[in-house]
Structure formats: C-alpha cells, structure tokens
Amino acid sequence: MQPHDRATAEGILLTDQYQLSMAQLYFREGLHTRPAQFDYFFRSYPDYGMHQAGYAVTAGLEWLLDWMEQSSFDASVIELLRSKTTSTGKPFYDETFLEWLSEHGDLGSIVMRAVPEGRVVHANAPVAVVEGPLIMGQILETSLLNHLNYPTLIATKASRMVGAARGGPVLEFGVRRGPGSGSNAGARAAMIGGAAFTSNVGISQVLGYDPKGTHAHSMVQAYMAVGAGELEAFRAFARSYPDDCVLLVDTIDTLDSGVPNAITVFKELRVAGHEPIGIRLDSGDLAYLAIRSARELNRAGFDQCQIVLSSNLDELAIWQILSQIDAEASRYGVDPKALIARLVYGVGTRLITSAGHAALDGVYKLAAIENDGEWAPAIKVSENPEKVPTPGDKRVWRVYDNRGLATADVITQSDEDPAASTSMQLFHPHRPGSHRTLRQADISGLEPLHADVLAKGERLAGRPSIDEMRARRQADLDRLDPGVRRLINPHVYHVSLSAKTKALQSELVTRARETARDVADPQLSEP
C-alpha cells in the first residue's frame, strides 16, 4: 500500500461496508432520498472498573464537520468502489448507483443539531441529531461515531483528572502510547476536557498553545555514557534553558542524586540571574518523593519551584497522592497546601487510552423517517430493554433547579413546550412505571441543549477556541451536583422522557412486538 492511499482511506470511505450496501439498496428501492433523522447518543458513562464517570464532556464536533466538508465520492473513490465484486464475481455496485453517488452523494445535504463541544453531556440524551436523505444519513454513521466517540471519551477522562488534581495543571503527554494518528484528536480532546497543555508539538502549536516538556532520561544517560554525569547533564540543560529549567531527577536516584544535583544547578542559575522552573519525578512513591523533594527545595530557598509528577497517573492515582500529601507532608515540615499548589501532573497512557474503559459506547440510531410528509418514528425492539431507543422528532432540554444546579436532561417531542404546564412528568427511558414530577416553581431554568451546527452545507458552528470550550465545561461542572462529579460511585444524573415521548416509545414497542410471532422465552423452550 502506497502512502497516498492512506489519504483515500481517511475520506468518505472511512465507513463500514454495510453502510454502502444499504445505501445501494435504498437507491434501488427508491428510498434513498427519503428524509430521515438519526440520533447520536451514548448509552452508559465510562465505567473504569473501580471508578465510574457520572457525566461526560462532548468533543470532536469541529473535526467531524471538517471531515464532512472535505469528504466526497470523487473520481478516485468511485474507481476504488468499482473494484468490489459480489461472491459470484460480478461488480458489486451498479454504474447507475456509482453515478448517483458521484453526482449527489455529498454530505452537503445534511442538517445537524448538536451539543457544542466542551459541554457536559449525559447518557441517553442525544448529543447530536442528523437530518438528511436516508442514504447520506446512513453513510455518515460510521465516521460520525468515529469522530465523536473517542474525543468525548478522552475529554471526559481529562476532566476527571483535572478534578482529582483540584484544578491543578494537567499536562497531556500520551502520544507515544496513543492510538496512531488518533493521538492528535486525543490530545485536542484532552485540552477541551481541561488539560492545561500537551507535550505533542504539532497539535499544540497548530492549536496555538506552547507545547510543554522537560527532558528524558536519555539525556542524562547520554552524558553518563560519554564519561560525564547527571550534574553535567543538568548544567547543560540549564545553559540551554535558563528560564525554562525543569530537571528530571530520577535517572540515578531521586533523593540521593537527582534532587541534590538539581539544587546545585538551580543555585548556579539564580546566581546568573535566572529562576528555575522545577523538577520532575517519574518513578517511585510520588507522594513521598514530592514531600521529600519539596523539603530539600524549600531548605535551599526554592519554595516556588514546581514539582512535576508523572508515571502511570490517572484520576485515582492523583487523588491518592494528594490525600497522602494532605496527611503526611506536615510530618516533614512541609505545608501540604503549599506543596499541592506547586504540583503539575504529567499524564500519558492512562489519559490518551482512557485506561479502564477504552471506548465510549456511542451509537447512531434511526429515530424517524418521513412518510406521507410526516415524521414516522422508528423503533428497535431488543432483548435488552436499555437498548430500546427514544423515537421521533425530538428536542433535548436541561432543567435547572432552584439551586441553579442541573437536575435533569429531558427529551421531548419537537412540538412540546416543556414550560407550558405547571409541572413536568419525567419518565425513566427504560424502566417502566418509573417517573417523577417537577413543578415549574422548582425550576430556575430550562435550556435547549442543541445548537444548529450544519444546514445543508452551511456551517453554522464556528471554530471556538480551546479556552472557550474549557470555559463551557467549567460552567457546566459548576452547575453539576458534586455527587454526580464524584470519582467513585457517582450519583446517577436523570435523563428523562416527557410523557408524550414515553407514550410514543411504549406504543411503538407494542406495535413492533405484535408484528413478531408469539414470543416464547427462548431460554425455557424445549430443545
């Protein structure tokens, strides 16, 4: 495979075969231009095993819209498709279909509403709604999922780490263990989720941020191998970067070599009129070593020096380190608050891979299809009740209580006004009979969650800066119950259906089941 082929594989053909099989079927059956609506949502929050997310942070939309603008069935794509054959060796695609694709098969026919990047989103509430001809909505599915699932997963993980770090600076540096070129999308998502910086030079600079980094063990090793030592390596670094001097102190021994050598160099720097930035600890008991290093730095007059921690950090590890510092630092004559204010967190693998839960279970489901000029709601009946989607042409609202905190996301039909009556009945999306009532008097705000982002080729969403998206996230987190933000066993945030939506769902399920034969429990039937 030649390198230029890789670009082809990243365009409109970043899709699953069955989308194109169905596309041709819809074309042949005359259904292809039928307007349809698809919902993008995730079914469950990431569950990392010992800890779980109670919310997610949406990311990836801008790059999805870029992809949609740039991807089309151009001549080289059509040529590639022409080579596919049926099992009997005939061309798989008709020429009339390929012609249609090259003339009309562009994503400019799509209308999209979505929750803006950086916002807090919840399970089962549509994050994006796609409206367009059935055929293009179907072809878009795979790439939309690919562009939104992974970044949302990573933004969510980053947000948790920043929370565990009590808002302290998190530095993303996962590209070396990250998933190929997906690592750039991951680094961007980490920044949206609250990471202060990334070490990834390319993506950071094109996003307009200074990439951050210190030096590797290899620099100290190189000096040692040529007959010099750690101190000489540190001096070389200070010579090159007198105003950006962060030294990695664990190549030989953190407390017996790295920290004393760093302090020697820091003193020399100060004499020369420069303030050192800090040290980095990359192995061992990070809480203990941070306390001991802080004590040595303080004694030497460097009580403002940062201490960068790295080595398999995630939200629980950060939380544990800070708890340990809270409890232990004073014993060593170090003020825990002052120490924690100096910490920087370098997080690699466990952020870029969302360790413990490596994929968001986002799905893209047909919600409605136009029939006789009206939206006909679509349903899927499943053996798992939690897989029954929410049908119809819908809207999503965030409801704020009298404390100003978000209390529920509510899914209504498009013709419903949730503010119209004195109370709202909120139904559980899957558990029959489970509902609660909210009085309007207890509601301080009602916010439509979706913005129009795409209208048949016209891009309505701008290109918000990372800072803007981070601010959205912070504003949403400030309005989220602390119990929902909790790292372990968070409260379950309510995503509810309006009475009308619930009734529609129940009616469609019943109707679908009736079209099936009598349903016996397959587990109990005779062999």
Q: Which of residues 396-435 bind its own copies (CB under 8 A)?
A: none
Could you say which residues in the range 328-367 bind its own copies, by CB under 8 A? 331-333, 349, 352-355, 358-362, 364-366
Cβ proximity to its own copies, 358 vs 419, nearer residue: 358
Contact between 33 and 134 under an 8 Å Cβ cutoff? The reply is yes
Q: Which stretch binds its own copies (CB under 8 A): 84-92, 103-111, 411-419, 475-483?
A: 84-92
Could you say which residues in the range 47-66 bind its own copies, by CB under 8 A? 60, 62-63, 66
Separation of CA 296 from chain center: 39
Cβ proximity to its own copies, 60 vs 418, nearer residue: 60
With CB under 8 A as the contact rule, the residue among 129, 134, 347, 424 that binds its own copies is: 134
Rg over alpha carbons for the chain, rounded to the nearest Å, is 27
Q: Does 368 bind its own copies (CB under 8 A)?
A: yes
Helix (H) or strand (E) segment spanning residue 315: helix 315-328
With CB under 8 A as the contact rule, the residue among 90, 373, 415, 439 that binds its own copies is: 90
Residue 424 CB, nearest approach to its own copies (Å): 28
Q: Does 524 bind its own copies (CB under 8 A)?
A: no
Could you say which residues in the range 136-165 bind its own copies, by CB under 8 A? 138, 141-142, 145-147, 149-151
Amino acid identity at 269: L
Could you say which residues in the range 29-48 bind its own copies, by CB under 8 A? 29, 31, 34, 36, 38
Place of tokens 């997310």: 53
With CB under 8 A as the contact rule, the residue among 75, 88, 103, 439 that binds its own copies is: 88
Cβ proximity to its own copies, 159 vs 200, nearer residue: 200
Cα angle: 163, vertex 165, 166; to 5 degrees? 65
* Count of beta carbons in the 10 Å neighbourhood of residue 462: 10
Within 8 A by CB and 6+ apart from 19, the residues are: 138, 139, 141, 142
Place of tokens 């590639």: 80
DSSP states of 404-432 = S-EEEEEEEETT--TTSSSEEEEE-SSST
Contact between 413 and 479 under an 8 Å Cβ cutoff? The reply is no
Q: Does 10 bind its own copies (CB under 8 A)?
A: yes
Q: Which stretch binds its own copies (CB under 8 A): 157-165, 239-247, 316-324, 423-431?
A: 239-247
Could you say which residues in the range 91-120 bind its own copies, by CB under 8 A? 92
Q: Does 217 bind its own copies (CB under 8 A)?
A: yes
Contact between 362 and 152 under an 8 Å Cβ cutoff? The reply is yes
With CB under 8 A as the contact rule, the residue among 24, 156, 407, 413 that binds its own copies is: 24
Could you say which residues in the range 462-521 bind its own copies, by CB under 8 A? 463, 512-513, 515-520
Cβ proximity to its own copies, 79 vs 452, nearer residue: 79
Cβ proximity to its own copies, 253 vs 507, nearer residue: 253
With CB under 8 A as the contact rule, the residue among 78, 369, 405, 455 that binds its own copies is: 369
With CB under 8 A as the contact rule, the residue among 371, 402, 423, 510 that binds its own copies is: 371
How would you list the strands of the sheet with 128-133, edge to edge? 374-377, 362-371, 35-42, 128-133, 111-114, 451-455, 458-459
Smallest CA-to-CA distance from 389 within 435, 431, 430 is with: 430
CA distance 211 to 197: 6
Q: Does 241 bind its own copies (CB under 8 A)?
A: yes
Total of residues contacting its own copies (CB under 8 A): 160
Q: How many residues are listed for the chain in this entry?
A: 527
Site string for its own copies, 446-465 (x = CB under 8 A): -----------------x--
Contact between 45 and 123 under an 8 Å Cβ cutoff? The reply is yes
Q: Give the residue ranges of DSSP H helices in 348-498.
A: 349-352, 466-478, 482-485
Q: Does 8 bind its own copies (CB under 8 A)?
A: yes
Q: Does 226 bind its own copies (CB under 8 A)?
A: yes
Within 8 A by CB and 6+ apart from 441, the residues are: 422
Q: Does 200 bind its own copies (CB under 8 A)?
A: yes
Within 8 A by CB and 6+ apart from 499, the residues are: 425, 427
Torsion of the alpha carbons at 463, 464, 470 and 472, rounded to the nearest 10: -120
Residue 240 CB, nearest approach to its own copies (Å): 4
Report the chain's terminal Cα–Cα distance, integer Å: 50
Residue 419 CB, nearest approach to its own copies (Å): 30
Site string for its own copies, 259-298 (x = CB under 8 A): -x----------------x-----xxx--xx--x------
Could you say which residues in the range 173-192 bind its own copies, by CB under 8 A? 173, 175-186
